[in-house]
């Protein structure tokens, strides 16, 4: 059984109360600490040994003549860069692909610029409302007709031989994911020094690598960072991603590495030691803004709890992930109380909600269901406008 430490109740309470200031704040913090410790204990026990249960993107009815690859471009307000992105796809040396562009209700001229392209392989869909970053990625997966999926974000681009180099790797063994280095185009030297090359912890990599070994190395090292790459530098089997639950909306910043880890728990990874795409990172990109606002403070907790619950992984790996999750809960509590006072109640509520939902994975009927616009984008009635060329 994968359980949190029995000392988590005392540690949570101690860490929260130790950082509280003033009598009224101590009282409020004490209530939050008791609520948190009770929820942590219940959720980790009730969820022991459970398989990760998440909603799946709705499958499409496929025709007889299908492309090998679906190149998916989820876009939002990308008018300045989307033409460059699509040009890089249409210039690929490998030709058996479709290109699916899903515009997430942009407020600029993105859709108009996409509509200028005239190519039978291009399908353009516009959402009638914004379904969120993760919801739009899942929408792309649901619409894709290819056996393999290659994402390209609207401000990134592929190098000419990207598809040609990655597609053949899936003919070998149990490969579910293929990845490669990427070039970086950025005005942020600090970011480039930190994220310019992601795969160093995995080196040396062979042409084919055991997926579970990669997950084990990642967890033993603390489960920090993204050792595989952003979606633009990764190709994967569509049906395998659907099988493991798609991209999870609780992880807006870590949705990619979270998905890669679930794929790797069931398959091997192919490695091409050659830059095949370009990652464009500037101060106005979504990732840069997200890191600045700290809007995804719970992402790492979701990542760890997913690893702890994943029965495709060895028990020792899940125990390690569970311990990391427990320590992260305590660290998050301390960070909340040392942060802006006006945000403490809201962030504590978010933390408690996370712990409760993580425990709800214990049975399929309690599986987490995203609500609001993201849910409508993942399941149920289609609401998009199809502007296929």
Please state the domain count of the chain. 2
334 shares a domain with 245: no
Q: In what order do the strands lie in the sheet with 277-281?
A: 157-158, 277-281, 183-186
In a domain, 331, yes or no: yes
In this predicted model, what pLDDT tens digit does every residue of 132-177 receive, in sequence order?
Answer: 999 999 999 999 999 999 999 999 999 999 999 999 999 988 999 9
Say if strands 122-126 and 97-103 run parallel, antiparallel, or are unpaired. Answer: parallel
User: What CATH number is associated with residue 272?
Assistant: 3.90.550.10
pLDDT given at position 190: 74
- Distance of alpha carbon 143 from alpha carbon 378, whole angstroms: 11
Please tell me whether residues 75 and 141 are part of one structural domain.
yes
pLDDT at 212: 98
Domain co-membership, 302 together with 253: no
State how far the alpha carbon of 226 is from the alpha carbons of 74, 79, 251, 340, 385, in Å.
20, 28, 13, 28, 34
**Does residue 382 fall inside a structural domain?**
no
- Domain hosting 82: range is 69-292
> What is the per-residue pLDDT for 232?
96
On whether residue 334 sits in a domain, the answer given is yes
| 17: in domain | yes
Using DSSP's 3-state secondary structure scheme, residue 178 falls into: strand
Are 99 and 208 members of one domain?
yes
Of 275, 292, 309, the position where a domain reaches its end is: 292
Q: Around Cβ 242, how many Cβ atoms within 10 Å?
A: 17
Is 378 within a domain? no
Pairing verdict, β 97-103 and 69-75:
parallel
The pLDDT score that the predictor gives to residue 42 is 43
List all residues 6 or more positions away from 66 whose beta carbon is below 8 Å from its beta carbon.
145, 146, 147
> What one-character DSSP code corresponds to residue 274?
S
3-state secondary structure of 67: coil
pTM as predicted: 0.79
Contact 114, 35 (CB under 8 A): no
Alpha helices in the chain (DSSP H): 8-18, 23-46, 82-90, 110-114, 133-143, 162-166, 189-195, 211-220, 238-244, 255-264, 286-293, 299-309, 315-338, 344-359, 372-378
Q: Are residues 98 and 81 in the same domain?
A: yes
Rounded Cα gap, residues 203 and 227, in angstroms: 10
Q: Which residues of the chain have pLDDT under 70?
A: 1-64, 186, 188-189, 191-196, 282-297, 359-389
Looking at residue 191, its pLDDT comes to 55
Q: What is the DSSP letter of 220?
A: H
The residue out of 264, 292, 320 marking a domain boundary is 292
Written as one string, the DSSP assignment of 90-149 is HT-S---EEEEEEE---SSSHHHHHTT---TTEEEEE-SS---HHHHHHHHHHH--SSEE
149 shares a domain with 84: yes
CA dist 374 and 131 (Å) reads 5
């Amino acid at each position: 059984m994968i359980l949190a430490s029995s000392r988590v109740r005392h540690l949570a309470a101690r860490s929260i109360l130790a950082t509280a200031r003033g009598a009224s704040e101590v009282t409020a913090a004490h209530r939050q600490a008791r609520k948190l410790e009770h929820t942590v204990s219940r959720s980790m026990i009730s969820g022991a040994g459970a398989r990760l249960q998440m909603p799946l993107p709705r499958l499409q009815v496929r025709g007889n003549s299908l492309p090998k690859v679906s190149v998916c471009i989820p876009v939002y307000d990308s008018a300045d860069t989307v033409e460059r992105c699509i040009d890089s796809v249409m210039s690929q040396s490998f030709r058996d692909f479709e290109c699916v562009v899903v515009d997430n209700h942009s407020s600029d001229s993105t859709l108009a610029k996409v509509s200028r392209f005239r190519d039978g392989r291009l399908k353009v869909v516009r959402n009638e409302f914004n379904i969120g970053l993760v919801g739009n990625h899942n929408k792309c997966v649901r619409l894709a007709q290819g056996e393999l999926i290659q994402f390209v974000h609207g401000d990134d681009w592929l190098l000419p031989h990207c598809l040609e180099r990655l597609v053949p790797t899936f003919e070998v063994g149990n490969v579910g994911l293929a990845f490669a280095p990427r070039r970086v185009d950025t005005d942020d030297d600090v970011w480039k020094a930190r994220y310019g090359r992601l795969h160093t912890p995995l080196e040396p990599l062979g042409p084919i690598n055991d997926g579970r070994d990669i997950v084990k190395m990642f967890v033993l090292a603390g489960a920090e960072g993204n050792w595989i790459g952003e979606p633009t530098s990764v190709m994967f089997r569509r049906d395998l991603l659907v099988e493991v639950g798609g991209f999870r909306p609780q992880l807006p910043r870590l949705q990619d590495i979270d998905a890669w880890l679930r794929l790797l728990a069931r398959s091997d990874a192919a490695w091409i030691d050659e830059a095949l795409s370009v990652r464009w990172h500037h101060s106005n990109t979504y990732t840069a803004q997200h890191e600045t606002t700290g809007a995804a403070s719970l992402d790492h907790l979701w990542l760890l709890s997913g690893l702890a619950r994943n029965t495709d992984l060895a028990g020792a790996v899940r125990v390690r992930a569970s311990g990391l999750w427990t320590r992260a809960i305590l660290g998050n509590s301390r960070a909340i109380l040392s942060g802006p006072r006006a945000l403490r109640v809201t962030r504590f509520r978010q933390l408690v909600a996370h712990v409760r939902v993580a425990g709800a994975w214990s049975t399929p009927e309690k599986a987490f269901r995203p609500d609001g616009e993201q849910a409508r984008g993942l399941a149920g009635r289609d609401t998009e406008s199809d502007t296929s060329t």
